[in-house]
Amino acid sequence: MKILITGINGQLGHDAAEEAKHRGHIVYGTGTTSEYSGSARLMCELDGYIRMDITDDASVSEVMDTIKPDGVIHCAAWTAVDKAEDEECRDMAVKVNADGTANIAKACKRINAKLIYISTDYVFDGEGTKAWEPDETDYRPVNQYGLSKLMGEKAVAENLEKFFIVRISWVYGINGNNFVRTMMKLSESHDTLRVVNDQIGLPTYTRDLASLLMDMIQTECYGYYHACNSGEYISWYQFACEIFKMTGADVNVIPVTTEEYGLSKARRPKNSRLDTGKLKKAGFSELAEWKDALGRFLKEVQ
């Protein structure tokens, strides 16, 4: 299968490429730089890396019409949640996450390619304690980032029938910055840290997610899905405590409320619980337990 992965310089794009090549697929990656620029070295040889601006419809059309992939995994996104609240950045978040995604979706339709669009729990308002189901339609994003990703979802659904929309939460991987790396770094210079204890969800390790995406793209089980590592839902505080337990860092972690923590410009949803049960119903395997995933990640980076 010929697969094109956008945003290959990011955490998920990197791992999706390695998983695809491991399975014997033909893999092309795109990014905004002239050559691969991820912080982690690719352990596979791509069949091609192409500079592509997803906000430029002509650029997207040229690449897609030339490569003619069977499937596209669309990882490229504006992910700076707080910056998206700034007046000068708000339009760019929409341009990348909504307009850019629309360009990808239209090109997929023209060449009859499957599309996997990576979305987020931020499309929901984060109220209550019930886990969000994949086919829930009561979208109420509480920040500009969530709104722009929801607009991207709608662009996919309006243009395609052969699509997977996969919402994820609390993402971390080897190729980039994330919460786990931040905690590890802070533990080198802090003996006490404050971490929010009222935002609840589950982390998503990109290596595990990449494996699921490769399973998906080879099927026709289209629709909306939620994917994160399995286990009992936790808070960021509990996640941080486990990180320090596994790394042996001597850090006193103080649980605080979102309001007490402050700092964040963009409002964060408190309920990030994602119901992943639809994966099994469609014949896919759920992701590994979150502590198992964290342990494997730490072995990679330590």
pLDDT in tens, 23-55: 999 999 999 999 999 989 999 999 999 999 999
Arithmetic mean of pLDDT, 133-142: 94
Give the amino acid at 19: E
Residue 203 neighbours by CB distance under 10 Å = 27
Residue 302 pLDDT grade (very low, low, confident, very high; cuts 50, 70, 90)? confident
C-alpha closest to that of 172 among 231, 125, 240: 240
Alpha-carbon distance of 215 to 282, in angstroms, equals 11
Beta carbons within 10 angstroms of residue 87's beta carbon: 6
The pTM of the full predicted model, rounded to 2 decimals, is 0.97
Confidence of residue 204 (pLDDT cuts 50, 70, 90): very high
Instruction: Provide the percentage of residues in the chain whose pLDDT is more than 90.
Output: 96
Which residue is listed with tokens 């069949």?
Answer: 47
Does some domain include residue 13? yes
Q: Which one of the listed residues 28, 49, 145, 225 is annotated catalytic?
A: 145
The length of the chain, given as a count of residues? 302
Band the pLDDT of 87: cuts 50, 70, 90.
confident
193 is a domain residue = no
284 in a domain, yes or no? yes
Whole-angstrom Cα distance, residue 120 to residue 169? 6
Q: pLDDT tens digits for 122-133?
A: 999 999 999 999
- pLDDT score of 263 more than 80: no
Catalytic annotation on 145? Answer: yes
Per residue in 139-182, pLDDT (tens digit) is 999 999 999 999 999 999 999 999 999 999 999 999 999 999 99
- What local confidence, expressed as pLDDT, does residue 28 receive? 98
**Is 182 part of any domain?**
no
C-alpha 166/C-alpha 151 separation (Å) is 14
262: pLDDT confidence band, cut at 50, 70 and 90? confident
In a domain, 192, yes or no: no
Residue 172 backbone dihedrals phi, psi, to 5 degrees: -150, 150
Tell me whether residue 11 is in a domain: yes
| Domain range for 129 | 2-175+202-231+273-289
Q: Is residue 180 part of a domain?
A: no
CATH number, domain of 60, equals: 3.40.50.720
pLDDT, position 264: 82
Residue 109 pLDDT more than 90? yes
Question: How many structural domains compose the chain?
Answer: 1
Q: What is the pLDDT of residue 257?
A: 96
87, part of any domain: yes
